[in-house]
């Protein structure tokens, strides 16, 4: 990916579907001096996403996109993102699968955070799967998005120990805390 040069920050869109704790964390990071990115757009596939509240709080434009399979719709959406000069898309708890055309259009510019040590436990219910498999460790991964689910090149990972009494809920909490460290670190790595 193109290196971050000079003082102009990279215009970034964050795609969410839920709570938005990663979004909030990325917004806070983006406001630091060392951040190469500036978050200018929040996209959600549902108006129910709690994270949309950060649009008002931090004065960042939001858009709710009713994703359909229509090529016309997708083309319009891509045009919209290009008009906004979006150069990086961060998926953060975004639960919809992007089409391979969309991914090709933003080739190498879409990254995702996933709550497992990929390539283990792609998809959903990662914490349940890790516990049911008696894993000793879990963690999180930031990776490039490719057309195969949770399979793009890994940028960075963080590992945590699963305790004997771990439940999927306590594990989710522990991993989420690590996600908040990992996502900014991975972005720094990409642009360093």
Report if residue 20 touches ligand GRF, rule: CB under 6 A.
yes
Report if residue 93 touches ligand GRF, rule: CB under 6 A.
yes
Choose between 4 and 63: whose C-beta lies nearer to ligand GRF.
63
E strand or H helix at 171, and its extent? helix 168-190
Give the chain's largest Cα–Cα span: 51
Indicate the Cα dihedral angle 155, 25, 120, 156, nearest 10°.
20
Neighbours of 17 (CB within 10 A): 19
Q: Specify whether 143 is catalytic.
A: no
Report if residue 108 touches ligand GRF, rule: CB under 6 A.
no
How far apart CA 97 and CA 67 sit, in angstroms, is 10
The residue from 114, 127, 143, 180 that is catalytic is: 114
# chain residues binding ligand GRF, by CB under 6 A:
14
How far apart CA 155 and CA 192 sit, in angstroms, is 12
Range in contact with ligand GRF (rule: CB under 6 A) among 17-25, 102-110, 128-136, 145-153: 17-25
Of 115, 139, 152, 184, which lies in the binding site for ligand GRF, with binding defined by CB under 6 A?
A: 115
How far apart CA 37 and CA 26 sit, in angstroms, is 9
Report if residue 55 touches ligand GRF, rule: CB under 6 A.
no
Report if residue 27 touches ligand GRF, rule: CB under 6 A.
no
Of 12, 13, 15, 22, which lies in the binding site for ligand GRF, with binding defined by CB under 6 A?
A: 22
The CB-side HSE value for 192 (13 A sphere, CA atoms) comes to 8
For ligand GRF, which residue has the nearest CB?
Answer: 93
Q: List residues with catalytic annotation.
A: 114
Residues that bind ligand GRF (CB under 6 A): 16, 18-22, 51, 92-93, 113-115, 176, 179
């Amino acid at each position: 990916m193109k290196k971050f040069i000079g003082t102009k920050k990279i215009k970034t869109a964050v795609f969410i579907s839920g709570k938005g704790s990663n979004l909030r964390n990325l917004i806070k990071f983006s406001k630091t001096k060392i951040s190469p990115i500036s978050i200018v757009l929040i996209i959600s596939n549902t108006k129910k996403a709690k994270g949309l509240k950060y649009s008002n709080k931090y004065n960042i434009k939001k858009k709710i996109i009713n994703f359909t399979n229509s090529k016309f719709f997708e083309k319009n959406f891509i045009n919209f993102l290009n008009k906004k000069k979006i150069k990086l898309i961060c998926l953060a708890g975004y639960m919809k699968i992007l089409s391979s055309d969309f991914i090709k259009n933003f080739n190498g510019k879409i990254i995702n955070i996933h709550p497992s040590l990929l390539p283990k436990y792609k998809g959903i219910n990662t914490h349940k799967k890790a516990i049911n498999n008696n894993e000793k460790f879990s963690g999180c991964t930031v990776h490039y998005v490719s057309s195969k689910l949770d399979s793009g090149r890994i940028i960075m990972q963080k590992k945590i120990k699963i305790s004997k009494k771990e439940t999927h809920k306590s594990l989710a909490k522990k991993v989420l805390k690590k996600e908040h460290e990992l996502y900014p670190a991975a972005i720094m790595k990409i642009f360093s």
